Amino acid sequence: MTQLTQSEIESIENKLRQRQHALLEEIRAELDERENQHLAAIMDNDPGDSCDISLADVLADLNIVRVDRQINELREIETKLAQVRAGNLNECADCGMEIGLQRLLAYPTAMRCVSCQERHEQMYAHEGHPSL
């Protein structure tokens, strides 16, 4: 396996830390917005019609889903930063082979080499898409 240079590792680590910081800011903003919406709803004496309430519920659910995705991405970043510390940043989680510098630069949280990722996507493509 090709060893990454210190400069390459630092570049990837910087990308991970920048994305981590941006995600934390996005989550804070989402939670602040959610809290503000909740306070506005409490202070509003007019209960609105059922469409307004339904729309508010859908928007709240979307915010929860968005925050959940952001938290999952933060976990991926933490895992990758742990790999940086352990010295196995470019090791595929499935086969142990090299992930590749270009892939890591484009997608710093990549856990698999391209061939293992393709295999993973084929195996799990149906998840999240229920059929009747």
The per-residue pLDDT for 12 is: 97
Q: pLDDT digit string (tens) for 39-96? A: 566 556 555 555 655 656 666 666 778 888 999 999 999 999 999 999 999 999 999 9
58 or 101: which leads in pLDDT:
101
CATH number of this structure's domain 6-124: 1.20.120.910
Contacts for 92 with CB less than 8 Å, ≥ 6 apart: 98, 99, 111, 112, 113, 116
Neighbours of 92 (CB within 10 A): 20
Q: What local confidence, expressed as pLDDT, does residue 11 receive?
A: 96
| Average pLDDT taken over every residue of the chain | 84
Give residue limits of the domains in the chain: 6-124
